[in-house]
Structure 1
Amino acid sequence: MRDDAPMIDNPVLPGFRPDPSIVRVGDDHYLATSTFQWFPGVGLHHSKDLVHWRPLGGALTERRLLDLRGVQDSGGVWAPSLTHHDGRFWLVYSIVRHSGTAYKDVDNYLTTAEDIGGPWSDPVFLNSSGFDASLFHDDDGRHWLVNVEWDHRPGRPRFGGIVLQEYDAAARAMTGPVTTIARRERLIEGPNLYRRDGWYYLMLAEGGTGWDHGISMARSRTITGPYAFDPADAVLTSRHDPGLPLQKAGHGELVTTADGQWYLAHLASRPERGPDGQPRCITGRETCLQPVTWTDDGWLRLADGTATPSTRVPAPSGTAPHPWPAEPPRDDFDGATLSPEWSTPRVPADETWASLTARPGFLRLYGRQSQHSLFDQSLVARRVTHRRVTATTCLEFAPRRYAQSAGLIAWYDASTYYYLRVTHDEDMGRVIGLVTNDAGTYDEPADTVLPCGDWPRILLRARIDGPELRLDAAPEPDAWRRIGPVLDATRLSDDYGTGSRFTGAFIGLCAQDLSGTRTPADFDWFDWHTAA
């Protein structure tokens, strides 16, 4: 390989962007990823060369397509499936409305669009038997849905197997029998079907989404089975080597380039050791690419002959580099809409609570419900993508009661966050202070409170340096003051706390008004700097 040959650096989509679904249309590659409780639903990215990617925002931008009010943290949109057939994009997605008990309440939907930017059609309900649904378009014109079947019965494996049923596109409905096509002692999910050389191939995620994660394959001469599993332990996994920089590797999809080169898109995570020595993945589950090939006897393998993910792999040969313009480090909130890097929990950003026009050049957040609400939070946030991140903002805010707050938040979910907030104290007036929620233990440390009534503008800063998080405030750029101690950034991860947690760390801007008067907080700009 030439020293100047183009290379893919993994992760290609850093930060919380899991469960990649990849498709090529002509010379364009598109990646869809899970978004869980965050809007817009189903993150979309675009590349010409598999090396450089740009965000397109999300597919599900409207309440008619996605209603997440009341959905629990780590519920919502799971494992989308993006395909292209008959001149249209087909997007299948699951909405998990409840999980964590014997039951999992989930609905699967299909929407289509002629252009990746939409408009997307009104969703078609498919089924509710499980999650990780994906659509396969066979050569004979028939369409088939596969998904995990969830089994709530005592004494039964919860992951009850992979089921297959035909989808009638003309009738916009499922049709025919439901057939179980795969079961295994090891947990399997994330099914995707492919057809090659007379075989139907079933790609599966296995072992759960944690440290035991991996990808396996099975194949059959007929779509309904029986399917024989690959004799290899895994096509891809990190489970046997905790020293690999990419851990939790699994849940993938295949794509071919225009000249027939095969690549596997998959998720993986980059662990950071916390103060207690435990590995935790602040940037969540991220999207990576690996070149793959087929053996003489028809099984999929990584092109380097291993089954472990690499951080740097060859890009497609013969493809011209196609970088995109770099995002400016400062968002001055001068646009008509928020940048596609921003996300909001459960509801889309709109002028009723996140306005770019009420005060031009500012993002005005009207205070609404608490940061624990499952309905109407005023929070806009962006994913933590690197080991080192510095986020700074300038706030103008005049609270009159303790129920009114606004500021900068380092966020995993409602159970775990660090909040540098401005509020009102009856004795001191306007103050800055730290609010923490540590796996559900809420606190407002009194020794972090700093009066700031005479500050005309308030600068707030969050600095992540590996496992450490520091929060600072200042009335002007050269007068920073530390607020609170050095904090454990690794707690902002799937691997901390209890229960099933599937997202990743964010840093965001938020406002609350628990009195219901919707006191506005004006953010003049937001700076974002990262380093490896």
Structure 2
Amino acid sequence: MPPVRNPILPGFNPDPSILRVGEDYYIATSTFEWYPGVQIHHSKDLANWELLVRPLSRKAQLDMRGDPDSCGIWAPCLTHDGERFWLVYTDVKRKDGSYKDAHNYIVSAPAITGPWSDPVYVNSSGFDPSLFHDDDGKKWFVNMLWDHRRRPQLFEGIALQQWDPATGKLVGPRKNIYEGTELALVEGPHLYKRNGWYYLLTAEGGTGYDHACTLARARDIWGPYETHPQKYIVTSKDHPNAALQRAGHGDIVDTPDGRTYVVHLTGRPITQRRRCVLGRETAIQEAYWGEDDWLYVKNGPVPSLFVDLPAARDDTPYWAEKRYTFDKGLPIDFQWLRTPETERIFNTDGGTLNLIGRESVGSWFEQALVARRQQHFSYDAETVIDFAPRDEREYAGLTAYYCRYNFFYLTVSAHSDGRRELLIQASEASWPVGNLTQQYLYEPTPIPDEGKVKLAVTVRGKELQFYYAMVGKDDELKKVGPVFDASIISDECGGHQAHGSFTGAFVGVAASDLNGTANVAKFDYFVYKPVQHETDQYEI
């Protein structure tokens, strides 16, 4: 059987938490400010994965209006206690500076597809929580501790406290059980029990190129925990030429026949500037237990691009063109930003995707932007828009989007005299904070005042080009605007210093009405077509 090429979840699927229940495997990943919260993929063989559900899908569970970019849902932990599924997650309301507002919650469900309960608030002392079900029936809540006094590190260690599901509260003493190694920034804890040992897997080194999975163990759940003799069981930090970079934040799973695997986040940088346009993705590594009762990654700690899995992967779906229509609602591949009140930003009445113009494309509160992940280094996308803007404050169209600081946006808008035009908005982040955004407006292209407009974008590695055509008049696509640097739509250009931007590139549609009249833009369909291109060095 040929080895499977990493990543197994390409394109913005970070912080994987893996779970096996019987013959079924599930991976939960972070979604940050994108709604609904948490992606759960399903597989029968670890090689072929399908997006199954996003469980945080209603206002009682999640409302992220006002959450800054790369805040929202961090590092979910998915577990099963033999009866119910449990999902632990953080909703981060602030992350920049010395202070964090990171609220931790627990939901549960009788089945992976739900119904998922309303959340139980746990604490706000740190992020990346997990829930460990011990064999004596006790449940333990584990999360990193944040200390705003410990500049510049701020990461105090890993806290352990018992959680009582009957009362929905933490009970008994809390202890800092592990302070990590000299790599620092210890977070992302997961607890396991095997052969009388408690194992603690953590993430260290931030989310950039020094990232790592660190393993420790103790005979007692309270410690003391000793660090693995190799310290880091997965990392690329000392191997800048490895195919998989930024490797860390992992979880462990066993197969029914006793094989062990580690899933972990990773990034695949492009260009000499090492930009990860696909964000942080999920990869998998084969591991084994040594005679010393320590876990080792096969051929590790540097992650392998190819790995032996119980089955081969069918790559046909990965390369298939996706033509989305909206006669049956919004397809599962799409998400929107922050708000649970979807009726205020979109609907699919009449079989079209109808975006209700709200705030600007960079808003942190209420914007009508619906998009899907970029999962390939090169792709084509197109849509057809029916929109009648009245002036320059009303615009809608096609966007390649990372965050408020990094996007390219081809819009149908109007001059102050009401005549329609195409206008490109582009925003590129820089540092320091005082100069985060430079917005460039390009010379508008006049178009007829009536009629649908086809909008398209091509991305070939680091090059992005917009196109347009008037439907039914001249269907041949024509270039509009310059060739842009597509690599700007990446973690490394997300408007923050290292370890500060956490999502990934999206492509989709948006609508704004800064007049406040909620003008509607209608989109007939959306096409996403992967393209195999010679510049794509590490494409699946």
Question: Smaller-chain TM-score range?
Answer: over 0.9
Q: Provide the residue aligned with 2:42 in structure 1.
A: 46
Correspondence list, 1:218-257, <5 A: 218-257=216-255
Task: Please report how far the alpha carbon of residue 485 of structure 1 lies from its aligned counterpart in structure 2 after TM superposition.
Answer: 1.1
Partner Cα distance (1:529, 1:286) in 2:
20
Asked if the contact 2:407/2:426 (under 8 Å) is kept, the reply is: yes
Correspondence list, 1:379-394, <5 A: 379-394=369-384
CA 158–321 in structure 1, closer or farther in 2 if over 3 Å, else same = closer
Q: Provide the residue aligned with 1:280 in structure 2.
A: 275
Q: Provide the residue aligned with 1:334 in structure 2.
A: 327
Q: Provide the residue aligned with 1:489 in structure 2.
A: 486
Q: 1:270 aligns with which of 268, 286, 291?
A: 268
Partner Cα distance (1:417, 1:14) in 2:
21
Task: Please report how far the alpha carbon of residue 306 of structure 1 lies from its aligned counterpart in structure 2 after TM superposition.
Answer: 2.4
Partner Cα distance (2:314, 2:136) in 1:
36
Task: Please report how far the alpha carbon of residue 155 of structure 1 lies from its aligned counterpart in structure 2 after TM superposition.
Answer: 4.6
Task: Please report how far the alpha carbon of residue 478 of structure 1 lies from its aligned counterpart in structure 2 after TM superposition.
Answer: 4.7
Q: Provide the residue aligned with 1:355 in structure 2.
A: 347
| Letter of the 1:362 counterpart | T
Q: 2:457 aligns with which of 453, 456, 462?
A: 462
Partner Cα distance (1:445, 1:376) in 2:
23
CA 381–176 in structure 1, closer or farther in 2 if over 3 Å, else same = same
Task: Please report how far the alpha carbon of residue 75 of structure 1 lies from its aligned counterpart in structure 2 after TM superposition.
Answer: 0.6
Task: Please report how far the alpha carbon of residue 494 of structure 1 lies from its aligned counterpart in structure 2 after TM superposition.
Answer: 1.0
Task: Please report how far the alpha carbon of residue 309 of structure 1 lies from its aligned counterpart in structure 2 after TM superposition.
Answer: 1.2
Task: Please report how far the alpha carbon of residue 486 of structure 1 lies from its aligned counterpart in structure 2 after TM superposition.
Answer: 0.9
Asked if the contact 1:399/1:424 (under 8 Å) is kept, the reply is: yes
Asked if the contact 1:428/1:451 (under 8 Å) is kept, the reply is: no
Task: Please report how far the alpha carbon of residue 441 of structure 1 lies from its aligned counterpart in structure 2 after TM superposition.
Answer: 2.8
| Letter of the 1:285 counterpart | R
Q: Provide the residue aligned with 1:399 in structure 2.
A: 389
3-state SS of 2:286 partner? strand
CA 155–402 in structure 1, closer or farther in 2 if over 3 Å, else same = closer
Task: Please report how far the alpha carbon of residue 443 of structure 1 lies from its aligned counterpart in structure 2 after TM superposition.
Answer: 3.0
Task: Please report how far the alpha carbon of residue 405 of structure 1 lies from its aligned counterpart in structure 2 after TM superposition.
Answer: 0.5
Q: 1:309 aligns with which of 277, 287, 303?
A: 303
| Letter of the 2:117 counterpart | S
Correspondence list, 1:9-24, <5 A: 9-24=5-20
Q: Does 1:71 align with 2:67?
A: yes
Task: Please report how far the alpha carbon of residue 453 of structure 1 lies from its aligned counterpart in structure 2 after TM superposition.
Answer: 1.6
Q: Provide the residue aligned with 1:131 in structure 2.
A: 127
Task: Please report how far the alpha carbon of residue 428 of structure 1 lies from its aligned counterpart in structure 2 after TM superposition.
Answer: 7.2
| Letter of the 1:110 counterpart | I
Q: Does 1:103 align with 2:95?
A: no
Q: Provide the residue aligned with 2:518 in structure 1.
A: 518
Asked if the contact 2:388/2:450 (under 8 Å) is kept, the reply is: no
Partner Cα distance (2:125, 2:522) in 1:
45
Correspondence list, 1:165-180, <5 A: 165-180=161-176
| Letter of the 1:195 counterpart | K
Q: 1:186 aligns with which of 176, 183, 193?
A: 183
Task: Please report how far the alpha carbon of residue 9 of structure 1 lies from its aligned counterpart in structure 2 after TM superposition.
Answer: 2.3
| Letter of the 1:411 counterpart | Y
Task: Please report how far the alpha carbon of residue 8 of structure 1 lies from its aligned counterpart in structure 2 after TM superposition.
Answer: 2.5
| Letter of the 2:508 counterpart | G
Asked if the contact 1:8/1:50 (under 8 Å) is kept, the reply is: no
3-state SS of 2:326 partner? coil
Partner Cα distance (2:54, 2:456) in 1:
28
| Letter of the 1:462 counterpart | V
Task: Please report how far the alpha carbon of residue 490 of structure 1 lies from its aligned counterpart in structure 2 after TM superposition.
Answer: 1.0
Q: Provide the residue aligned with 1:206 in structure 2.
A: 204
Task: Please report how far the alpha carbon of residue 353 of structure 1 lies from its aligned counterpart in structure 2 after TM superposition.
Answer: 2.5
Q: Provide the residue aligned with 1:143 in structure 2.
A: 139
Cα RMSD between the aligned structures?
A: 1.8
Task: Please report how far the alpha carbon of residue 351 of structure 1 lies from its aligned counterpart in structure 2 after TM superposition.
Answer: 3.5
Q: TM-score, normalised by structure 2?
A: 0.93
CA 290–446 in structure 1, closer or farther in 2 if over 3 Å, else same = closer
Partner Cα distance (1:34, 1:443) in 2:
29
Asked if the contact 2:105/2:121 (under 8 Å) is kept, the reply is: yes
Partner Cα distance (1:372, 1:306) in 2:
41
Partner Cα distance (2:307, 2:252) in 1:
16
Post-superposition Cα deviations, 1:280-336, rounded to whole Å, max 9, x if no partner, equal: 000000011111101110111112x321112221112xx69799978761001121x
Post-superposition Cα deviations, 1:73-115, rounded to whole Å, max 9, x if no partner, equal: 1111000000011311000001111111110011110000011
Q: Provide the residue aligned with 2:402 in structure 1.
A: 412
Partner Cα distance (2:440, 2:235) in 1:
42
Asked if the contact 1:49/1:321 (under 8 Å) is kept, the reply is: no
Asked if the contact 1:433/1:444 (under 8 Å) is kept, the reply is: no
Give the unaligned 5+ runs of structure 1: none
Q: Does 1:375 align with 2:365?
A: yes
Partner Cα distance (1:434, 1:323) in 2:
35
Q: Provide the residue aligned with 2:423 in structure 1.
A: 433
Give the unaligned 5+ runs of structure 2: 430-435, 532-538
CA 310–156 in structure 1, closer or farther in 2 if over 3 Å, else same = closer
Partner Cα distance (1:103, 1:291) in 2:
38
Asked if the contact 1:49/1:322 (under 8 Å) is kept, the reply is: no
Number of matched pairs: 518
Q: Percent identity?
A: 45
3-state SS of 1:106 partner? strand
Partner Cα distance (1:180, 1:528) in 2:
47
Partner Cα distance (2:68, 2:437) in 1:
18
Asked if the contact 2:463/2:484 (under 8 Å) is kept, the reply is: yes
Q: Provide the residue aligned with 1:216 in structure 2.
A: 214
The more displaced of 140-149 and 307-316 is 307-316
Task: Please report how far the alpha carbon of residue 508 of structure 1 lies from its aligned counterpart in structure 2 after TM superposition.
Answer: 1.3
Asked if the contact 2:345/2:367 (under 8 Å) is kept, the reply is: no
3-state SS of 2:161 partner? strand
3-state SS of 1:11 partner? coil
| Letter of the 1:528 counterpart | Y
Partner Cα distance (1:48, 1:284) in 2:
26
Partner Cα distance (2:313, 2:246) in 1:
29
CA 264–513 in structure 1, closer or farther in 2 if over 3 Å, else same = same
Post-superposition Cα deviations, 1:403-459, rounded to whole Å, max 9, x if no partner, equal: 110000111100111110110113571000110111143434342x11112562111
Q: Provide the residue aligned with 1:89 in structure 2.
A: 85
Task: Please report how far the alpha carbon of residue 126 of structure 1 lies from its aligned counterpart in structure 2 after TM superposition.
Answer: 0.9
CA 24–111 in structure 1, closer or farther in 2 if over 3 Å, else same = same
Q: Provide the residue aligned with 2:195 in structure 1.
A: 197
Asked if the contact 1:149/1:162 (under 8 Å) is kept, the reply is: yes
Q: TM-score, normalised by structure 1?
A: 0.94
The more displaced of 498-507 and 283-292 is 498-507
3-state SS of 1:280 partner? coil
Partner Cα distance (1:460, 1:323) in 2:
28
3-state SS of 1:170 partner? coil
Partner Cα distance (1:102, 1:292) in 2:
37
